[in-house]
Structure 1
């Protein structure tokens, strides 16, 4: 094979090795790449052997190829390059800085880095930011000069795809995912081989998910479920199922809000890593730990409503979140008294429930929350229901291709007094002073549950399900 190429995997029988293999290696000189490979137990003359050198499977040759639909394909095996937010982001399939794509009903798998890219264009400044906040701010300024606005970029629909076996991200997008909808996707086995490291690994990793909706997705067996990094403003994360992720289900990093997280099932060991302000969390089930910390070392942007224009830059002091009508589940009475530091940084605090916000600079807003099995409320939360001795024992069960949640509830949970969650209740975050509204600027109301059923208009049930009853319940969740 002549020339200097990116060679990433040798596939035997269509599947990569589960761990880095000593069965193949390469040597590269000025004009040749030579591969030595062994195939124990496999005849390479009869089985599929693919040497991956293509950077992508479906990707436009230049930006601005708008309104393309990609539907019903099986797309696999690409030697995609690393896709940081400060460079051109090439995926197995990607939109390449465009508008109005529909990517639906596809099987996308075995990308060395990213599966679907909704990311930025490339230029001479790619990979020159030195991994600094200031460098990414310059990237944003150049993007604004290069057409990053509501009229020309984003508005993509990514739905009903199965995305798996990617080493960086199932879906990645820096700036180019704004104003988009990502729904109905199954995303699993992302960065499970740990072939390399970096700060961009997740089932979904977006920078600047402005007015983007992430809805009805199933994300599991990833290193981190959903990572919203910088400029999640007007973003909504609703009715998603997260479980068996080795890292946190949701990471919100250096955002100023408003963004809304509602009707989700967070069932991994860590439900939420919150390094943002201005988030609203309503009717979620948090079965894992919550980690909170400020971020004073970086100044990041906020925007006018529904716009990519930069209104200002500031850091994250912590707090100023809203938590209404959620259910938090601990790991027993011992967790009710254990205050857990999660790193050597004393500003990190983690545990079950909202007590982790007790030391944040700005207060949070709360109401209608339920704390079970050792989960603890915020220190100034007077109306919380706390049942330290009650363990609802949530568990996912696979049945005939369905995923069901088994959970028990105490009568006290069903008798809780709550208020409907609306734009009026949520107010405005302290930094952006932009209201919690829909992308079309209409008021928000959390008036349906995880299953799409109507909520009680005056006293909705806490948690994701409006129809829960006392005792054990089995609910199909996927």
Structure 2
């Protein structure tokens, strides 16, 4: 059955074509498996709360009749502004508009939030651009540049809100930078979510073609209830496709955790247990809450334009397992720099078990992709990442995160990163083990090699399952780095940064490109003899230190340019320090190309074909670097999907001429 919705209908109806509902949520109350909710163009200022789940055979489909024509927003227009003083205007609203959740009394805060908790979940908007929150009317009047912002000119526009207890109103003061708010489109964020079931297990829903924007979402840490502007809410089998998703205070899309009243921001509220311990608790309690293959996860997030969210584009712990995230354009995440904490990235997932992230274009984010804990069976492939680095003019936010294209943290692998183009000044923060880097182009450094994990014991799982197999601290190593190109595109001068959780502690971060940072790690041939394999009755105490030492690494077939330096034990490598090699990403009318002469300089250098057999097994889970269905991989497909034949060269392209082809094009909805 097709259920029709049209906000511009003359009056509310029954969902028929001639008498459509005026609100999507009215359709969401009655939609059953196999139904399609067809939504006419218009602005829908509502929270959509699907009541019924679809099935694997009969999904419930919510579709915008015209691509991006139906707008679901968490904002309301705010009019009747009066001049206060200078460029500052004032208006007010009754708090009854917010119901039980007032975004202007709710702070962005929770476990793993490191910045000063002074920002609220609400926001004031001028013509679809967010104003910056300040702490007083005087700050509004001053309207100075916020020195941490990546967009300094727009940071002069400010807002401040306070409560009038006598009238039960929120009073807004805003500096619109000289604009008259009564002649412009001014909105305030009112609703916490736009499209998310209030109940768990409402699965097999498709959301297609909507513009979803401006929600007062809350901070989404890994051991707490996690919401997003749109979210499957601990269910299975959603498809979110062809949507424009932007303007969330925290998460744009959330594929996050179940609600557990006994473990929700436990550290923030009780202080007495480590937040890391509560993450382990969350993983184990997840089995009780149904975290089992076939019941949770398995979502598809594809062809979306996800941007201008301040915590993350896609966020989630555990609820995104077995999902596919493909062909999305994710950009300008956390650029306002109002929020700081350990959950910020274009994509930030805990327990991305058997998650495939492919063909995404991710740029101008604090971090591109962050896989934290249990990146087991995760594959990051054929993605373009660039400009995921703090501009030189922007001051580092105290409590803000450092920048890189990819961050893999405290996982045991196998984590596969192949055929990507990584052009920011840090390609990979590798505070983890069990990573395979194959056929990538890296213009940035590796950071936190052998560091950044402390004593944390994290879980690993039965292969291609969620059941916990064991826990172990991170030994570092167990990495494979084959057939990549490394080029020192950026300065190799170490960068002095503030520690995210302890800003008073500064540290230096490596910017020198290459695999030399593994020089002190053993090869397998150096590592294995210490275990006395020929002994029938081994001495356990003798091997105790070895069981907590670095694991071996496998590094070969890489090419190094412009000062990038290789692993000292690498046998087959190419090096050119001529000072004439370059690489850059170029945009032409919305399409992206690589401008480089690397392949001309590297001509004649060949490497071996890499496969699952070459890479072996990740140490702790004893799991191969393989497809999510357990079948082996031969890396004969390149970044563009082209075939690698008998002549194999390093980097993401099968042949030199492929580097001249378009590497990313506009989405159809852009």
For residue 485 of structure 2, the aligned residue among 299, 302, 327 is 327
Matches of residues 231-246 of structure 1 in structure 2 within 5 Å? 231-246=374-389
8 Å contact from structure 1 (residues 350, 356) kept in 2: no
Distance 1:389 1:174, change over 3 A: same
1:466 aligned partner: 654
Measured at CA, do residues 269 and 388 of structure 1 come closer, stay the same or move farther in structure 2, by a change above 3 Å?
A: same
Task: For residue 173 of structure 1, give the secondary structure of its aligned residue in structure 2.
Answer: strand
Q: Does 1:35 align with 2:149?
A: no
In the TM superposition, 1:346-365 aligns within 5 A as 351-360=512-521, 361-365=550-554
Q: Give how far 1:461 is off.
A: 1.6
Match of 1:197 in 2: 340
Q: CA 1:150 to 1:469, structure 2 compared with 1: closer, same or farther past 3 Å?
A: same
Q: 2:233 maps to which residue?
A: 96
- Given the two structures, how large is their TM-score scaled by the length of structure 2? 0.67
Change (3 A) 1:314 1:210: same
> Which one of the candidate residues 575, 594, 604 is aligned to 1:386?
575
The answer to whether the Cα contact below 8 Å between 2:355 and 2:379 also exists between their aligned partners in 1 is: yes
Equivalence map 1:268-417=2 (5 Å)? 268-291=424-447, 292-294=449-451, 295-331=453-489, 351-360=512-521, 361-409=550-598, 411=600, 413-417=602-606
Output the CA distance in 1 between the equivalents of 2:416 and 2:378. 6
The superposition leaves residues 390-413 of structure 1 with CA deviations (integer Å, 9 ceiling, x where unpaired) of: 542111111122111100025562
Task: Tell which structure's C-alpha radius of gyration is larger.
Answer: 2
| 2:582 and 2:597 in contact (8 A); partners too | yes
Q: Assess if the C-alpha contact under 8 Å between 1:154 and 1:176 holds in 2.
A: yes
Q: In the alignment, is residue 151 of structure 1 matched against residue 309 of structure 2?
A: no
Question: What are the superposed Cα offsets for residues 316-335 of structure 1, whole Å, 9 maximum, x if unpaired?
Answer: 12111001110000159x95
> 1:113, 1:148 → 2: CA distance?
24
Within 5 Å, which residues of 2 pair with 1:44-193? Answer: 44-124=181-261, 125-129=263-267, 132-193=275-336
- Ranges in structure 2 where 5+ consecutive residues have no aligned partner: 1-93, 105-121, 132-153, 269-273, 390-402, 500-504, 522-549, 665-670
Summarize the Cα distance change of 1:413–1:141 in structure 2 as closer, same or farther, 3 Å threshold: same
Q: Classify 1:33/1:81 alpha carbon distance in 2 versus 1 (closer, same or farther; 3 Å).
A: farther
Query: 2:203 aligns to what SS in structure 1?
Result: coil
Give the counterpart of 1:15 among 100, 125, 129. 129
How much does 1:46 deviate?
A: 3.9
100-109 or 389-398, which deviates more = 389-398
> 5+ residue gaps in structure 1?
none
Give how far 1:137 is off. 0.3
CA contact (8 A) 2:494 2:509 kept: no
Deviates further, 348-357 or 428-437: 348-357
Q: Who is 1:432 aligned against? A: 621
C-alpha distance in structure 1 between counterparts of 2:430 and 2:177, whole Å: 47
Residues 366, 381 of structure 1: 8 Å contact kept: yes
Question: What TM-score do the two structures reach when normalised by structure 1?
Answer: 0.93
Any conservation in 2 of the 1:390–1:410 contact (CA below 8 Å)?
no
Distance 1:251 1:455 in 2: 28
Change (3 A) 1:40 1:365: closer
CA RMSD across the alignment = 2.3
Q: 1:258 to 1:23 in 2, by over 3 A?
A: closer
Tell me how far apart the structure 1 counterparts of residues 508 and 595 of structure 2 sit (CA, whole Å).
36
Contact 1:20 1:195 in 2 (8 A): no
Q: Which residue of 1 aligns with 2:538?
A: none
Shift of 1:279: 0.6
**Structure 1: distance between partners of 2:506 and 2:310:** 29
* 1:49 positional shift: 2.0
Is the CA contact 2:586–2:593 (under 8 Å) kept in the aligned structure 1?
yes
SS across alignment from 1:94 = coil
Q: Offset of 1:141 from its aligned partner?
A: 1.2
Residues 213 and 235, structure 1, Cα contact 8 Å, conserved in 2:
yes
C-alpha contact 1:404 1:476 (8 A) present in aligned 2: yes
Deviation at 1:301, TM superposition (A): 0.6
Q: Distance in 2 between matches of 1:327 and 1:225?
A: 19
CA distance in 2, matches of 1:28, 1:439: 56
- Give the C-alpha shift of residue 273 in structure 1: 0.4
Distance 1:384 1:260 in 2: 21
What is the DSSP-based 3-state SS (H/G/I as helix, E as strand, rest coil) of the residue aligned with 2:660?
Answer: strand
